[in-house]
């Protein structure tokens, strides 16, 4: 379906020689990250109006390769370890250093305010997936499902099996969604802000939490407790601490993508 359409999307554009790959914006005074940048390029800092932008020479072609995604992440991790950082999305380029400098200069107040909003905080991303094995417990508990299972066993034709399977799939999904709601209710009070990510039939929880660094142990403990509580229905996973990808606002009226 959409796969074909995606293939015809424009290839990564060739970039001008003086274009810069931009990783993120920090307050001035941070150490230059030692991690290699995208395409192995060394990372340097551009300082302007009390702000720093971490940049490297833009690669001629840019693909979402594993090592480049990791490089983007590694540079931001190093910056985040030193203080607040506004992470850019992967693959954002500035046409040249002058444009970047004037952007920092003209909107210094905006960036400083944004930095203050994530200062001392980390992003924790929590995902939860349906645990299909829980169906056995549901069959044991739910008289209707058990009756359906018995009927299907007496007349095991294709349609009946599909109906039974669908009912079971729906039930484990519903249980997982309830569990996800429970998890949210418990974790949200420990966070400064939360942002929902995309969910589907299998991944029923995908939420980023902006957590004060000091509260991270408490957050993890709460998550562990929840995981034990709902583990039979919902498989939780956590990624973090991360640079606050989900808690920065792009400029008002951004160009988007």
- Structure letter (DSSP) for residue 74: H
Q: Residue 44 or residue 77: which is nearer to other proteins going by CB?
A: 77
Which CA distances in Å does 213 have to 123, 152, 188, 251? 9, 53, 15, 26
Q: How far is the CB of 44 from other proteins (least distance, A)?
A: 17
Q: Residue 90 or residue 216: which is nearer to other proteins going by CB?
A: 90
Number of residues that bind other proteins (CB under 8 A): 104
Each residue 226-245 as x (binds other proteins by CB under 8 A) or -, in order, gives -xx--xx--xxxxxx-x--x
Q: Residue 57 or residue 164: which is nearer to other proteins going by CB?
A: 164
- Output the CA angle 49-40-13, nearest 5 degrees: 80
Which CA distances in Å does 229 have to 183, 208, 233, 234, 246? 9, 20, 9, 9, 27
Tokens of 67: 């090592």
Footprint (CB under 8 A) of other proteins, residues 12-71 = 12-13, 15, 19, 22, 24-25, 62-67, 69-70
Q: What residues does 44 pair with on adjacent strands?
A: 55
Of the candidate residues 35, 45, 72, 211, the single one contacting other proteins (CB under 8 A):
72
Q: How far is the CB of 65 from other proteins (least distance, A)?
A: 5
User: Coil, strand, or helix at residue 96?
Assistant: coil
| 109 near other proteins (CB under 8 A) | no
What is the rounded distance in angstroms from the CA atom of residue 234 to the CA atom of residue 205?
9
Of the candidate residues 57, 93, 118, 187, the single one contacting other proteins (CB under 8 A):
93
What phi, psi does 110 have (nearest 5°)? -60, -45
Q: How far is the CB of 200 from other proteins (least distance, A)?
A: 5
Q: What residues does 124 pair with on adjacent strands?
A: 209
Q: How far is the CB of 16 from other proteins (least distance, A)?
A: 10
What is the rounded distance in angstroms from the CA atom of residue 206 to the CA atom of residue 236?
10
Footprint (CB under 8 A) of other proteins, residues 151-190 = 152-153, 156-162, 164-166, 168-169
Q: Residue 137 or residue 212: which is nearer to other proteins going by CB?
A: 137
Q: How far is the CB of 211 from other proteins (least distance, A)?
A: 14
Does residue 93 contact residue 20 with C-beta atoms inside 8 Å? yes
Q: How far is the CB of 231 from other proteins (least distance, A)?
A: 3
What is the rounded distance in angstroms from the CA atom of residue 220 to the CA atom of residue 63?
34
Footprint (CB under 8 A) of other proteins, residues 197-226 = 197-198, 200-203, 206, 208, 223-224
Q: How far is the CB of 172 from other proteins (least distance, A)?
A: 8
Q: Residue 6 or residue 214: which is nearer to other proteins going by CB?
A: 6
**How many other C-beta atoms are found inside a 10 Å radius of the C-beta of residue 249?**
11
Tokens of 84: 């607040």
């Amino acid at each position: 379906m959409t796969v074909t359409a995606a293939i015809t999307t424009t290839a990564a554009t060739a970039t001008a020689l003086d274009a810069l790959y931009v990783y993120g914006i920090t307050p001035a005074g941070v150490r230059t990250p030692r991690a290699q940048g995208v395409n192995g390029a060394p990372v340097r800092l551009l300082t302007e109006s009390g702000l720093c932008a971490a940049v490297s020479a833009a690669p001629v072609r840019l693909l979402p390769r594993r090592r480049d995604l990791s490089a983007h992440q590694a540079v931001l991790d190093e910056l985040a370890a030193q203080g607040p950082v506004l992470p850019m999305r992967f693959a954002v380029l500035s046409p040249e250093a002058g444009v970047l400098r004037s952007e920092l200069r003209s909107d210094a107040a905006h960036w400083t305010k944004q930095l203050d909003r994530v200062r001392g905080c980390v992003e924790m991303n929590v995902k939860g997936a349906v645990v299909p094995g829980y169906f056995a417990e549901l069959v044991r508990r739910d008289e209707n499902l058990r009756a359906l299972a018995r009927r299907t066993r007496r007349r095991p034709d294709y349609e009946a099996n599909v109906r039974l399977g669908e009912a079971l799939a729906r039930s484990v999904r519903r249980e997982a969604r309830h569990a996800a709601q429970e998890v949210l209710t418990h974790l949200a009070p420990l966070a400064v802000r939360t942002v929902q990510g995309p969910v589907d039939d299998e991944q029923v929880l995908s939420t980023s939490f902006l957590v004060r660094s000091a509260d991270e142990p408490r957050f993890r403990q709460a998550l562990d407790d929840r995981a034990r509580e709902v583990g039979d229905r919902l498989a939780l996973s956590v990624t973090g601490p991360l640079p606050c990808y989900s808690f920065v606002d792009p400029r008002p009226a951004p160009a988007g993508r």
